[in-house]
């Protein structure tokens, strides 16, 4: 009889690899596969739904699931009178947050826990290496920009950069000697070099990731202040060098992208009133102007949050319950909701997760998400580097909460939450990936 772990793990890893590579394969290698994009990700969602329901065990996981179902149904079907199909389709965006944790917990709590963690660590290493040829290919073909998304495909530059830094830090910290900072850097030079592809796209957040990356390789204690005296100057040299490479590759000027005015315009735009008036012109008259892309207003992230309350009043929606699930889905098969059709100009384009949840589930949805995230960090760490990894992932969650909607991706949640959960579990025998690869040769 085939072992249950073997069946579950193979389904899990195959599904995860498909999600992590289908974008690049379908866009750059086997282009006819692009027509299967919707079907592939729908099947992946179904796999996670089934596995998630089968692995719900703890009180925390069951509470997260039931509270979301109640919140989603009341918001969507009671307050906003949406159909069941649209509501169910909208729930898919939250499958990663709901099901990744219980699925991973099931694998990491059984007798095959060590086996699973070794397999997942190897997946992370291979994924990290795979980004080098994928990103170089996209950079040569498209130039530095949002289309340089590695194996995830076009328009995934932000997600891939964050994953590269998170995975590299996780793998480095597993054999890090806190008493020999520069010696450990030399010992782990492969993982450090694998950060370089992140500077072939225009993900400005990479500079923040880079600084935090090297700071969190320090032991977090009072003596850390003394270490910072010589770490900070070295870090400034590294950031300056990397910054020069970034500016050269992306053909930008330092005076512009480091100015207060640039960040203000990037996050809020020059004029909120102007952007809203332009959006309404596109909505009412089908006007296409230079500031739109395919008829979509490029509204800055934080401007969207400012606009939501007035849009809710105009659309007769509750600020507490939101407009209902499925506002950001349905353009391909199920169909769009009346709200998303009317306010298409607001919902499309770049959107932070706080905006995503606020629009669909209102203030109560934001409370649910915050509680769900906080509950993930409640278990004490059992590894030497656990606190550092937790802090880095907490920063990532907070950053994406305010920056984009990566948390709606199953693969992103799976990888990030696995690294978080690894701070709670320590395999009995943990060979280093590079060392074991050398032995295999």
Mean pLDDT of 154-158: 89
Would you say 27 and 154 are in contact if contact means Cβ atoms under 8 Å apart? yes
In this structure, the answer to whether residues 221 and 127 fall within a common structural domain is yes
Task: Say whether both 243 and 153 belong to one domain.
Answer: yes
Q: Do the strands 296-297 and 292-293 form a parallel or antiparallel pair, or are they unpaired?
A: antiparallel
Q: Residue 216: what pLDDT?
A: 87
Regarding whether 279 and 242 lie in a shared domain, the answer is: no
Q: Is residue 297 pLDDT above 60, yes or no?
A: no
Residue 28 and residue 144 in one domain:
yes
Task: Indicate whether 289 pLDDT > 70.
Answer: no
Q: How far apart are CA 313 and CA 36, in angstroms?
A: 38
Sign for the CA dihedral angle at 374, 378, 382, 384 comes to positive
- Give the three-state DSSP class for 298: coil
- Averaged over 312-326, what is the pLDDT? 93
Q: What is the mean pLDDT of residues 49-77?
A: 96
161 lies in the same domain as 295: no
Beta bridge partners of 123: none
**Segment 261-273 mean pLDDT:** 53
Judged against a pLDDT cut of 70, whether residue 440 lies above it is answered with no
CB 87 within 8 A of CB 330: no
75 domain-assigned = no
Residues 245, 191 share a domain = yes
Whether 233 and 278 share a structural domain: no
Residues 283, 189, single domain; the answer is no
Please say if the pLDDT value at position 302 is more than 90. Answer: no
| 91 is a domain residue | no
For residue 293, what pLDDT is reported? 40
Nearest to 163 by CA among 140, 194, 185: 194
The more confident residue out of 51 and 287 is 51
pLDDT single digits (tens) 202-229: 777 888 888 889 888 887 664 555 555 5
Residue 278: pLDDT band (50, 70, 90) is low
Residue 100 has, within 13 A of its CA and on its CB side, a CA count of: 27
Give 105-130 pLDDT, tens digit per residue.
999 988 899 999 999 999 999 999 99
Q: Is residue 370 part of a domain?
A: no
- 67: pLDDT strictly greater than 90: yes
pLDDT of residue 414: 97
Who wins on pLDDT, 306 or 277?
Answer: 306
For residues 354 and 201, the model is more confident at 354
Q: Is the pLDDT of residue 231 over 60?
A: no
Please give the model's pTM, rounded to 2 decimal places.
0.84
Tally the domains of the chain: 2
pLDDT of residue 424: 83
| Cβ proximity of 166 and 212 under 8 Å | no
Q: Greater confidence, 120 or 438?
A: 120
358 and 383 together in one domain: no
- The answer to whether residues 123 and 73 touch, using CB atoms and an 8 Å cutoff, is no
Find the range with the poorest average confidence among 123-132, 170-179, 292-301, 411-420: 292-301
262 band by pLDDT with thresholds 50, 70 and 90 = low
CA angle centred on 256, ends 255 and 259, rounded to 5°? 80
Q: Whose CA is closest to 66, among 368, 359, 303, 279?
A: 368
- What pLDDT is stored for residue 140 in this prediction? 93
- pLDDT at residue 47 in the model: 97
Average pLDDT, the chain: 83
Is 148 within 8 Å of 200 (Cβ atoms)? yes
Q: Which of 334, 362, 390 is the last residue of a domain?
A: 362
Whether the Cβ atoms of residue 214 and residue 235 lie closer than 8 Å to each other: yes
Question: What pLDDT score does 275 carry?
Answer: 56
Range of weakest confidence among 22-31, 217-226, 302-311? 217-226
pLDDT at 348: 81
Range of the domain at 311: 272-362
Is 436 part of a structural domain of the chain?
A: yes
Among 314, 335, 362, the domain-final residue is 362
Q: Is residue 129 part of a domain?
A: yes
Q: What is the pLDDT of residue 351?
A: 86
pLDDT band for position 317 (cuts 50, 70, 90):
very high
331 and 396 inside one domain: no
Residue 37 has pLDDT above 70, yes or no: yes
Q: Among 362, 385, 400, identify where a domain stops.
A: 362
Q: What is the mean pLDDT of residues 68-79?
A: 97
132 & 243 share domain: yes
Is the pLDDT confidence value at 30 over 90?
yes
What is the structure's pLDDT at 174? Answer: 86
């Amino acid at each position: 009889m085939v072992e249950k772990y073997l069946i579950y793990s193979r389904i899990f890893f195959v599904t995860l690899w498909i999600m992590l590579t289908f974008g690049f394969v379908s866009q750059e290698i086997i282009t006819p596969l692009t027509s299967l994009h919707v079907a592939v990700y729908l099947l992946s969602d179904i796999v996670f739904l089934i596995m998630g329901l089968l692995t719900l065990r703890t009180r925390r996981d069951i509470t997260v699931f039931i509270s979301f179902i109640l919140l989603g149904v009341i918001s969507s079907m009671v307050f906003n009178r949406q159909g069941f199909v649209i509501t169910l389709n909208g729930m898919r965006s939250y499958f990663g947050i709901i099901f990744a944790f219980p699925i991973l917990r099931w694998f990491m709590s059984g007798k095959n826990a060590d086996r699973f963690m070794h397999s997942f660590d190897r997946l992370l290493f291979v994924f990290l290496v795979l980004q080098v040829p994928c990103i170089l290919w996209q950079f040569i073909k498209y130039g530095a920009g949002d289309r340089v998304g590695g194996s995830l495909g076009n328009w995934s530059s932000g997600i891939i950069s964050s994953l590269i830094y998170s995975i590299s830090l996780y793998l480095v910290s597993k054999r890090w000697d806190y008493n020999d900072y520069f010696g450990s850097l030399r010992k782990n030079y492969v993982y450090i070099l694998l950060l370089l592809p992140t500077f072939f796209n225009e993900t400005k957040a990479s500079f923040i990731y880079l600084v935090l990356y090297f700071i969190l390789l320090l032991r977090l204690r009072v003596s850390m202040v003394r270490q910072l005296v010589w770490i900070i100057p070295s870090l400034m040299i590294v950031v300056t060098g990397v910054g020069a490479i970034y500016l050269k590759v992306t053909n930008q000027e330092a005076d512009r992208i480091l100015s207060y005015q640039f960040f203000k315009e990037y996050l809020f735009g020059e004029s909120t009133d102007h952007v809203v008036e332009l959006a309404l012109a596109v909505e009412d008259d089908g006007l296409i102007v230079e500031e739109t892309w395919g008829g979509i207003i490029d509204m800055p992230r934080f401007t969207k949050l400012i606009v939501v309350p007035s849009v809710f009043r105009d659309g007769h929606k509750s600020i507490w319950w939101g407009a209902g699930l499925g506002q950001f889905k349905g353009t391909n098969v199920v169909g769009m909701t009346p709200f998303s059709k009317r306010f298409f100009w607001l919902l499309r384009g770049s959107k932070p997760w706080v905006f995503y949840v606020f629009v669909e589930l209102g203030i109560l949805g934001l409370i649910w998400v915050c509680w769900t995230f906080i509950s993930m960090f409640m278990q004490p760490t059992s590894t030497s580097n656990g606190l550092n990894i937790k802090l880095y992932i907490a920063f990532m969650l907070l950053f994406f909460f305010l920056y984009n909607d990566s948390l709606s991706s199953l693969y992103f949640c799976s990888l990030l939450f696995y690294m978080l959960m690894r701070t709670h579990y320590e395999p009995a025998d943990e060979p280093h990936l590079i060392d074991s690869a050398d032995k295999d040769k």
